[in-house]
Chain A
Amino acid sequence: MKEFMEAATVLNNRRVGEWKAQGGRVVGYTCSYVPDELFHAAGILPYRIRGIGASETTIGDTYFGPFICSLPKCMLQLAGEGKFDFLDGAIITPGCDSMRRLDECWRKAGDDNPGVLPKFFFHFGVPHKYSDYTIAWFTVEIQRLKAAVEGHFGVVITDEKLAASIRLFNRGRDLLEAFDAFRTAEDPPIGGADALAVIMAGTTMPRERYTELLEGLVGGLGRSASRITGKARLMLVGSANDDVELVCAIEGASAIVVADNLCFGSRFHADRVSEDGDPIEALARRYLAKNECPRVYGEYKARLATLRHKAEQARVDGVVLQNIRFCDLHGSENGLFERDLEAAGIPCIRLEREYGPLVETGRMKMRIDAFIERIRQRRKTA
């Protein structure tokens, strides 16, 4: 667990350091729509850019306006402080408006402070819906990214390499699915904070090592006799969360997060990339179709069905619907989820929070405690 936790909580973790020391290149990306396999096939470490550890947003506030999500502001803050100096490149996606404007803000910060901007900087257009012509567009977009990576880094990404990378990442997804079965079990052997660390580590460390660690972990969990019992079982849903501490705050002493629907969490490993046919198109299909984010408009019913299925499978007592302030996509969808899940008999709590140092922990814990109290009373009267 130690290595997972380190990879999940330290920006420039040991494995990244080793990779760089061996002359490896690292390319960061801001959103789960970027196909890791492409970079892996290029011999580049794909790294999901985080906002953890930012203790202020003075640099972020210099470029962004005031009514903007604090996650990209924290990312820019860290970039401005040189915390992402190990990145050789960065990919910006239109995951949401706040995140896509990181493109300009980071570039301008780079103009003002040479060295802040990685030498390879790429705007990756991701459609907002799934259809034959959006897949065609996205396939070309991935080809465009591939060409740019090949051109800038002087590498060749062959179909064979890409197919091998797809197989490796699919193997990781299989392992994470097996891991999820332990996590959601009755009296699970692992808590929610640790589970998030395990999943997130996959976005910040070399894949071969990650797969090796996962195999060990999954095997170990199968043999483990230790069980977590007597806690309220929660599912965590909503805005991007790359902070293990948030889960710790929610779990406290009386709850356990047994499931999630977060892009840094279990949505990251949902579904597989087809191992047949054109690998680029296969990536386009998986990455566009299977990341269930509210940025894909008009798909609420499908996402509600996913949530209900997950809640049922994990036998959750309640759902924590959280959003970062100014995240209207998750915030609004949380309102719909609350209406429909409550109607289906699943207790929900909506939490709006700031990203970054958990200055609101007290308020949040108080509300979570009240929520757990509600769940317990419900159990008693059931």
Chain B
Amino acid sequence: MRPETREYQFDWMLWSCFSAASKLNAGTPKEYRRMLEYIPSFRGVVETVLDAGEPGQRFIEICATYLDNVINAKSRGQKTAITTFCFSPAIFYAMDIMPICLEVISVMMTFTYKRGTTEFLDYCNEAGYTETSCSSQRGSIGAYLAGLGAEIDMIVTDTPGVCDTNANAFAFAAAYLDKPFFQLDMPPDLTGERSNEYHRADYTALISFLEQHSGKRLDLERLREKLIEVQKQDEMIAELEELARMVPNPLPVVYNFMVYASRFLFAGMPECTRTLESLLALARQNAAEGKSGISGGAERLRSYFCYIDHYVQNLKLWQMLDANGICYQGNILSRSWASNAPHVREFGTQEAAYTLDTANLDGLIDTMAMLNSRMPMIKSIRGPYDAPNMWLQDTLSLATMYNVDFIVYNGTPGCRNTWGMVKLLARDTEKAGFPTFIMYADAFDERVQSWETTRDRFMEFLNVRRLL
């Protein structure tokens, strides 16, 4: 790691960028344009997000707020927990623990810095962690292993049974940093009383762990409050998902990204609600006017990303989609599996969804356990990809419902789970009539495949399949 990288805490640096970005709109248009010249490596993000209007402004603000909370948690008397994107943060907020979500922070660094997370990725290897591990955790965990981030009190993950490389990152960090560790384990079956009981017992053990290491008892009223907020947020996401079915889709391409990032950072918190309200207001307006969310106004193609996105610097993926009139119909991350989600109702998969019950303690625990076990990735890739309610069924349902023209897989080479079956999935989706593109890029590490190559291969696919 370069000596200068060690000069400042990485999370403070990141907060500094987002905090400054959140104030850009406060100036005059001229000041704004002039400022962009000074941030060539970040301007693509700023323009892509802030051009989305008020929702973009709110989104940048919540990123800054989140990072502010991360760097100041300890001084505010909070405990901190390193956790993962597919872990609903509501329980942490309910217990006054600051959740530090590794993958979201990796994404922030990847699209903000010219160098991305490379130094921290490599530092992990110096610390003994394998280079073949997933770059989504590795990108930010390296900073914590190097002692360059906020002080950590505990490490919590929910990916055992779903993603080895994710769970292993957290276990490695816990052993390396000698911190308390808890894992929520996922059985292969999503539904059924046996799985439900297992989730319930596991979640109860989690609450004991959090109480032990935070020194605070779970406040039921506070948890209920957070879950009622989650319910409200899910209803808004359900409406956004419903609006996305329209032709043209009134949602700008960057909306999905803002939806899932907001949920990962602030589910159950008013910050997320405000961003969703703002997204929804603009989407409703576009829908009422019959406007496409594509900035050029013309929707040419509809795409569904069956896994994750590509977070290369300056959000170039979203820019490429928008520039080519390709509508973004979401990915595995932006899905809510609440029982009121349109795809759940439409395909009769209520059994695989979660329902919020805030009546009593058992209901709350059950709700959290069910919600958590249906977070993105946790739900869809825990069992065989072609089992009921798993990846193939989810992908085909959503691709059909949104009437997409093609499906894209992108992940990281560290993803043993999806690379173990993605060829089979693609074969099945192709058979079902959806041209399917497997990207070989790394969503978090451009050194694996440059953006230019990634873009060219993407466009080659569209051309060869005569989609454009």
- A-side residues, CB < 8 A to B, are 62-69, 94, 96-98, 100-101, 103-105, 108, 123, 125, 127-129, 131, 133-134, 137, 140, 294-295, 297-298, 300-301, 323, 325-329, 331-336, 338-339
Contact = CB atoms under 8 A, between A and B. Distances in A.
B172 A336 contact: yes
B71 to A, nearest CB: 27
A334 B416 contact: no
Given A67-B416, A97-B416, A104-B424, A332 B164 contact: no
B146 interface: no
Given A137-B194, A137-B198, A297-B181, A332 B420 contact: no
Contacts of A128: 160-161, 167, 183, 185
B183 A297 contact: yes
A355 B175 CA distance: 27
A101 B420 contact: yes
Interface stretch (B100-108, B126-134, B251-259, B395-403): B126-134
16 contacts: A65-B419, A67-B132, A69-B416, A101-B420, A108-B424, A123-B384, A125-B188, A127-B187, A129-B185, A133-B198, A137-B187, A297-B157, A333-B172, A335-B172, A336-B172, A338-B128
A277 B466 CA distance: 66
A67 B414 contact: yes
Interface residues of B, number: 50
B133 A328 contact: yes
Given A96-B164, A133-B198, A133-B201, A105 B187 contact: no
Contacts of A334: 128
B175 A301 contact: yes
Contacts of B181: 297-298
A64 B164 CA distance: 17
B128 A335 contact: yes
Contacts of B201: 133
Contact of A332 (B129, B385, B440): B129
Given A65-B423, A128-B185, A297-B183, A336 B176 contact: yes
Interface in B17-41: none
A128 B163 CA distance: 12
A335 B129 contact: yes
Contacts of A65: 418-423
A137 B176 CA distance: 30
Given A67-B413, A123-B384, A298-B171, A328 B132 contact: yes
A67 B415 contact: yes
B358 to A, nearest CB: 24
B384 A104 contact: yes
A286 B129 CA distance: 30
A297 to B, nearest CB: 4
B424 A63 contact: yes
A137 B195 CA distance: 9
B174 interface: yes
A295 B424 contact: no
A375 to B, nearest CB: 21
A131 B205 contact: yes
Contacts of A101: 416-417, 420-421
B81 to A, nearest CB: 14
A103 B384 contact: yes
B175 A336 contact: yes
A57 to B, nearest CB: 14
Contact of B185 (A134, A325, A332, A338): A134
B242 interface: no
A129 B125 CA distance: 26
Contact of B423 (A64, A295, A297): A64
Which among B130, B132, B160, B161 has the greatest number of chain A C-beta atoms within 10 A? B130
A64 B419 contact: yes
B185 A140 contact: no
A150 B415 CA distance: 37
Contacts of B414: 67, 328
